[in-house]
Chains A and B, each alone.
Chain A
Amino acid sequence: MVNNIPVEVLLIEDNNEDAELTIRVLKKHNLANNLVHLQDGEAALDFLFAEGSNNVPRLILLDLKMPKVDGIEVLRKIKTDEQRKLIPVVMLTSSKEERDIIESYKLGVNAYVVKPVEFEKFVEAVAQLGLFWLLLNQPSR
């Protein structure tokens, strides 16, 4: 999956359908050119922290509940790493639980978005956050 073009978006999502829908929306807005989709936290950590890895995506879309290593753990690792803590991380999750939201913000998440069930709203949410973080927002470097 790793290619020479710098990764723009890293989507960490265990649900393939959700991932497909997300990617579809991003593609429609030309935001998924250099998108990498990983299916669990372990793979994400490998991708980001493997020896010699210089993968620094412009945006990480992170699901919360995943097998093996969950989203919170991935977030913690990213936000405690000197080099990678500047990467914007957006939680894209089904969970509306207060403790998840609070925990994520405590760890320094940049945004927390609850995936709407209704597809129109979902499309709207993903499109907006993609546009915002990849086009509107001024990154740290």
Chain B
Amino acid sequence: MKVYFDKKVLVAFLLALSILTSLGIYSYRNSQDSVITSRMVSRTNEVLYHVEELHSSHLEIEAELTRFVLTGDTAFADFYKNEINAAKEHYIVLLESIKGNATLAKGLDSIRLLGMEKVELINHVIMTRKNSEDSARMIVFSPYNRKLIKGINAAVENMQAEETKILDQRMTENQGDVTRFYTTFLTLLILTAVTIVVLFLLINKTLRARLQAEQALSRAAEEIKSLYNDAPCGYHSLNSDGVIIEMNKTWLGWIGYKREEVINKMNYLGLLTPQSQKLYNESFPTFKSQGFINNIEFEVVCKNGSSFYVIVNSTAIKDKNGNYKKCRSTAFNITDRHLAEEKVIETNKELEAFTYSVSHDLRAPLRSIDGYSKILQEDFSSTLDREANRLLQIIRNNAHRMGHLIDDLLDFSRMGRKELDRTIVDMNALVGHVRQELVSQEVNRKIEFTIKPLKEVQGDLSMMRQVWINLISNALKYSRKQQVSRIEIGCKNEDHHIVYYIQDNGVGFDMKYSDKLFGVFQRLHKIEEFDGTGVGLALVHRIVSRHGGKIWAEAHLNEGATFFFFIPSQIPH
């Protein structure tokens, strides 16, 4: 048997039980004692009775003897014989009863001896009376007879006194036993009562604790139920056939069905559009075998026919043998996100169409402007004066510039749409090549390059190449006016990131414009001073951002600039 009691309760219970048991044993033994006592008392009474009977027989015989002497009635002989027989019986009983008590035995024996003397005397009286009344009377009233009577009376009294004394002794003893019994009994009773009270308190405490625990449990259950039902996401469970066996209120609210219409009645398939049904049929067996599925998107059809999108994550619950039992799934309503994504895709398509047409349609007229201006210069050089040539050149310069702007803008846009193809990029080799390529285009310049060992990076090679092209050409461009251009490239460990840097001794810029540095078409210098479209750094910024990294710059006006960037090894989701 399993015991559910508290340990203390059990101890108190066992204590009460043992006290009660000892109380019982004690009472039993005490009642045994009292039986013995009462048996002794009754024996004493018996002894006293038989002694008394002997005494009264004696007295009656004496009285009848006197009457016989006076009357000579022969009926005395019979009476006397009967009494003697009766006395003999009393004697036999007494002899048995008083065994072991020397005083009483001695008394009884003296009664027997005196009795025998008395019998002889009476026999003598009976004989004598036949002849003479007087002689008989003489014997009866003789001092000898008186002495016998006295002796018997004294013996009887002695026996009575002895027996009474024994009885008293026993009664006193018994009284002591009874007092002790009562004291012990009462003590044990009180102990039992106290134990039971303690037991009661303990049980009460246990029950109260249990009740409180039950209440807490039911509160917690309520809380969990509410958490399940009122969560801001859907919860559901499917059995191995895909029947919905649990579903929370949020979910039911989305689809517009009542609980009783769904639970154990509807298959999950029944909630999906045909396209999602296909996806479900493909993924459910895999899910059951691998035990989980993450971020799977379904389009769900409501009772009223409308539909929405959910993203579902599931964990399979399996039995001891590893067989699929049911699932625990969460569903998030991603309709808003889905619409936004569709919008983004649409916008991207529009943008793509736009950039495509820009790349084609805007470049053609520029080419014509430039081409025809050039033809004018070539074919009509004799008729055009210097000013006309200058003006034509301005037209052509602007056409070129606009061509660059369009190209850069397209590059920038393309960089935003291009898929990242991450590989391990050897920055040392990459920077070496880019530097060589760019420096070869610079003529009549003194350039001191310091390239420290660079750690490799996880990134898109072509994009990383673009980053270094833009940063190094910037450094070259803005340090052009120095007698010796000094450019340093390196990397350092900072906050668990590898931060690459490129430092130049160029014109730098005022840090108050640093927020404009990476904006598209933002320029901090006049076009006459430094050419460029203002897209280069925006492009670098976009590439670094798409890799999940960060780029920033530190500079002072006319004291050079340093650009820093890092690329985390994994894109934070």
Using a CB–CB distance below 8 Å, which chain A residues touch chain B? 15, 17-18, 21, 24, 64-65, 93-98, 115-120, 122
Instruction: Select A122's contact among B359, B371, B373, beta carbons within 8 Å.
Output: B371
* Contact across chains for A117 and B359 when beta carbons are under 8 A apart: no
Residues in A neighbouring B402, C-beta threshold 8 A: 117
* Contact across chains for A21 and B359 when beta carbons are under 8 A apart: no
Other A-B contacts than A24-B375, A117-B400, A118-B403, 9 sampled, CB-CB below 8 A, are A21-B368, A21-B375, A93-B360, A115-B363, A115-B364, A115-B367, A117-B406, A119-B371, A119-B374
Min C-beta distance of A66 to chain B, whole Å: 10
* Contact across chains for A17 and B360 when beta carbons are under 8 A apart: no
Can you list 25 A-B contacts (CB < 8 A)? Answer: A17-B364, A17-B367, A18-B364, A21-B367, A21-B368, A21-B371, A94-B360, A94-B361, A94-B363, A95-B359, A96-B359, A98-B414, A115-B364, A116-B367, A117-B363, A117-B366, A117-B399, A117-B400, A117-B402, A118-B399, A119-B370, A119-B373, A119-B396, A122-B370, A122-B371
Min C-beta distance of A48 to chain B, whole Å: 24
State the CA gap A17–B374 with chains docked (Å).
13
* Contact across chains for B403 and A65 when beta carbons are under 8 A apart: no
Instruction: Select B359's contact among A24, A97, A118, beta carbons within 8 Å.
Output: A97
State the CA gap A117–B363 with chains docked (Å).
6
* Contact across chains for A18 and B374 when beta carbons are under 8 A apart: no
Residues in B neighbouring A18, C-beta threshold 8 A: 364, 367-368
Instruction: Select B367's contact among A64, A96, A97, A117, beta carbons within 8 Å.
Output: A117
* Contact across chains for B359 and A17 when beta carbons are under 8 A apart: no
B387-444 CB contacts (< 8 Å) to partner A: 396, 399-400, 402-403, 406-407, 410, 414
Min C-beta distance of B15 to chain A, whole Å: 92
Residues in B neighbouring A64, C-beta threshold 8 A: 360
User: In the complex, which residue of chain A has the Cβ closest to the Cβ of B357?
Assistant: A65
Given A117-B366, A118-B403, is A65 in contact with B360 using a C-beta cutoff of 8 Å? Answer: yes
* Contact across chains for B372 and A17 when beta carbons are under 8 A apart: yes
Asked whether any CB of chain A lies closer than 8 Å to the CB of B356, the reply is yes
Q: How many residues of B contact A (CB 8 A)?
A: 24
State the CA gap A119–B403 with chains docked (Å).
11
B346-391 CB contacts (< 8 Å) to partner A: 356, 359-361, 363-364, 366-368, 370-375
* Contact across chains for A15 and B371 when beta carbons are under 8 A apart: no
Residues in A neighbouring B372, C-beta threshold 8 A: 17, 21
Min C-beta distance of B1 to chain A, whole Å: 81
Query: When A and B form their complex, which 8 residue pairs have the shortest distance between CB atoms, in order from nearest?
Result: A117-B403, A17-B368, A119-B374, A21-B371, A94-B363, A119-B370, A94-B360, A119-B371
Residues in B neighbouring A15, C-beta threshold 8 A: 364, 368
Question: A-B contact count, CB below 8 Å?
Answer: 63
* Contact across chains for B410 and A117 when beta carbons are under 8 A apart: no
Residues in B neighbouring A93, C-beta threshold 8 A: 360
Instruction: Select A95's contact among B360, B367, B375, B400, beta carbons within 8 Å.
Output: B360
State the CA gap A94–B357 with chains docked (Å).
10
Dominant secondary structure at the B interface? helix
Residues in B neighbouring A17, C-beta threshold 8 A: 364, 367-368, 371-372
Using a CB–CB distance below 8 Å, which chain B residues touch chain A? 356, 359-361, 363-364, 366-368, 370-375, 396, 399-400, 402-403, 406-407, 410, 414
Residues in B neighbouring A119, C-beta threshold 8 A: 367, 370-371, 373-374, 396
State the CA gap A122–B374 with chains docked (Å).
11
State the CA gap A18–B364 with chains docked (Å).
7
State the CA gap A21–B376 with chains docked (Å).
12
Q: A97, A118, A120: which has the most chain B beta carbons within 10 Å?
A: A118
* Contact across chains for B400 and A97 when beta carbons are under 8 A apart: no
Residues in A neighbouring B363, C-beta threshold 8 A: 94, 115, 117
State the CA gap A18–B414 with chains docked (Å).
26
Residues in B neighbouring A122, C-beta threshold 8 A: 367, 370-371
State the CA gap A3–B546 with chains docked (Å).
57
User: In the complex, which residue of chain A has the Cβ closest to the Cβ of B379?
Assistant: A24
Min C-beta distance of B366 to chain A, whole Å: 5
Residues in B neighbouring A116, C-beta threshold 8 A: 367, 403
State the CA gap A2–B41 with chains docked (Å).
163
User: In the complex, which residue of chain A has the Cβ closest to the Cβ of B370?
Assistant: A119
Min C-beta distance of B405 to chain A, whole Å: 10
Min C-beta distance of A108 to chain B, whole Å: 22
Residues in A neighbouring B414, C-beta threshold 8 A: 98
Residues in A neighbouring B400, C-beta threshold 8 A: 117-118
Given A95-B359, A97-B356, is A118 in contact with B370 using a C-beta cutoff of 8 Å? Answer: yes
State the CA gap A118–B410 with chains docked (Å).
17
State the CA gap A120–B375 with chains docked (Å).
11
Residues in A neighbouring B361, C-beta threshold 8 A: 94
Residues in B neighbouring A21, C-beta threshold 8 A: 367-368, 371-372, 375
Residues in A neighbouring B364, C-beta threshold 8 A: 15, 17-18, 94, 115
Residues in A neighbouring B366, C-beta threshold 8 A: 117
State the CA gap A119–B374 with chains docked (Å).
7
User: In the complex, which residue of chain A has the Cβ closest to the Cβ of B411?
Assistant: A96
State the CA gap A118–B401 with chains docked (Å).
9
State the CA gap A18–B360 with chains docked (Å).
12
Residues in B neighbouring A117, C-beta threshold 8 A: 363, 366-367, 370, 399-400, 402-403, 406-407
User: In the complex, which residue of chain A has the Cβ closest to the Cβ of B362?
Assistant: A94
State the CA gap A21–B400 with chains docked (Å).
17
State the CA gap A95–B368 with chains docked (Å).
16
Q: B360, B370, B406, B407: which has the most chain A beta carbons within 10 Å?
A: B360
State the CA gap A117–B396 with chains docked (Å).
10
State the CA gap A138–B316 with chains docked (Å).
68
State the CA gap A21–B363 with chains docked (Å).
14
State the CA gap A64–B375 with chains docked (Å).
25
Min C-beta distance of B394 to chain A, whole Å: 15
State the CA gap A64–B357 with chains docked (Å).
12
Residues in A neighbouring B399, C-beta threshold 8 A: 117-118
Residues in A neighbouring B373, C-beta threshold 8 A: 119
Min C-beta distance of A88 to chain B, whole Å: 23
Residues in A neighbouring B407, C-beta threshold 8 A: 96, 117
User: In the complex, which residue of chain B has the Cβ closest to the Cβ of A97?
Assistant: B356
